[in-house]
Structure 1
């Protein structure tokens, strides 16, 4: 695989104890302890009130990370192609639909049904931003972040135009949680550009390989990295927070990993 060269213009990040990229950057850039606390998200104010009332945690997480990234990049989200990557989509909604189907009254509301599709966040994003640019929604189990990053980087380089990546995961309630034990909600977003600009935060070079994934020394962050597919991004986020140059390796498929060379700007 020929290395893909892209540049990060904006970042958004929300997770347990990580409230936005500015807050997360301070914590990830420091060497002290990090408290893994509740996920705190802003309300999705960009949505009309009717849609805002219907959405759950997955959509709020995706929109919070996405809007933080485009705001930092100072780009118009209404003109930006986007890749939405999630291993399970809206896990709470999935649970409630299955609970309804297992009950005496098996009537599923239309709102629950249309919120169950995997490209739901992409649809609401288009409503919120009035975006007519194409969106891609994908999943790849534990490889979901790397797959999303590769897709967004490929679109950026092939079209020679910026692209937004939003990777997000939430936890299933029981009994699904026992089968897919994602412990926390986590979302990360990046605006990728084919060329450096005055707002470029760092440059990335992506290539497939077989080196072992980068392990985090902080026990709580390492548990988060291995427990949440979207949090496989944490070694890259830590390198960006610390303005470190060099390579990080991210989990991908069983026999492949994604090597990311980071060059801060």
Structure 2
């Protein structure tokens, strides 16, 4: 079975990839990639109390989500959401583990509140006013592929525009030694059932077993391999190049996502 949707908006943030507009010439091969530390502000659309509670994971997820909405000129309140991450708030995970290993095992309400995997979806509802369905996934290194497949399925079955938000952040030591994610990273895709004036590309997806695409730039390829959320970079590269092509993305081995990309403009 093939799933067909239209990509109307993109949000992107990562080291040296400050936004989708800034990243397009890099992914298209017209500008050199230079890694830089990531700086993400808390979303001003959150009330002050909630804004103070947000960690890096939530900041990244909401930043790319709002960028994709703005790029596609969409109303967040009309879109379902699919949040996907291999680990979510890893700083919070580390802090809770340290507390539970100490003599005082009292967990703060804020840490407990942010420990659930669907915390970014909750903050998104507060920040955007969206009351549409939200799905939250985790599939280790296949998290981007699992989220993309879920989002496309929802668009195809429900006929409802869906916003995919894929995000990851590094663990502190000693967890970093066991799960070495080098940086925070986020991708958001606004996926729609019909073509519009804002549509960037038509995407048609099916399952297969071909080898996943890699990136020619060694530094970008290192990001793709190291950060699950960055496994979507070959798809964004095809969109940036305005190419009609097939892209193969990682999923649950031995399955892969075979994506036919056709530019709309």
TM bucket (normalised to shorter chain) is over 0.9
RMSD: 0.9
Q: Where do 1:80-229 residues align within 5 Å?
A: 80-229=79-228
**1:19 and 1:41 in contact (8 A); partners too:** no
Q: What is the number of equivalent residue pairs in this alignment?
A: 264
In the alignment, the residues of structure 1 paired with residue 119 and residue 257 of structure 2 have an alpha-carbon distance, to the nearest angstrom, of: 27
Shift of residue 31, structure 1, vs aligned partner = 4.2
In the alignment, the residues of structure 2 paired with residue 114 and residue 29 of structure 1 have an alpha-carbon distance, to the nearest angstrom, of: 40
In the alignment, the residues of structure 2 paired with residue 128 and residue 80 of structure 1 have an alpha-carbon distance, to the nearest angstrom, of: 14
**1:78 and 1:131 in contact (8 A); partners too:** yes
**2:244 and 2:262 in contact (8 A); partners too:** yes
Query: Which ranges of structure 1 fall in alignment gaps of 5 or more residues?
Result: none
In the alignment, does 2:213 pair up with 1:232?
Answer: no
In the alignment, does 2:50 pair up with 1:51?
Answer: yes
**2:42 and 2:54 in contact (8 A); partners too:** no
1:11 is matched with 10
In the alignment, the residues of structure 2 paired with residue 94 and residue 43 of structure 1 have an alpha-carbon distance, to the nearest angstrom, of: 20
Task: With the length of structure 1 as denominator, give the TM-score of the two structures.
Answer: 0.98
In the alignment, the residues of structure 2 paired with residue 170 and residue 176 of structure 1 have an alpha-carbon distance, to the nearest angstrom, of: 12
**2:78 and 2:161 in contact (8 A); partners too:** no
**1:44 and 1:52 in contact (8 A); partners too:** yes
Write out the 4+ residue segments of structure 1 that deviate beyond 6 Å after TM superposition: none
Query: Which ranges of structure 2 fall in alignment gaps of 5 or more residues?
Result: none
In the alignment, the residues of structure 2 paired with residue 144 and residue 195 of structure 1 have an alpha-carbon distance, to the nearest angstrom, of: 26
In the alignment, the residues of structure 2 paired with residue 88 and residue 40 of structure 1 have an alpha-carbon distance, to the nearest angstrom, of: 20
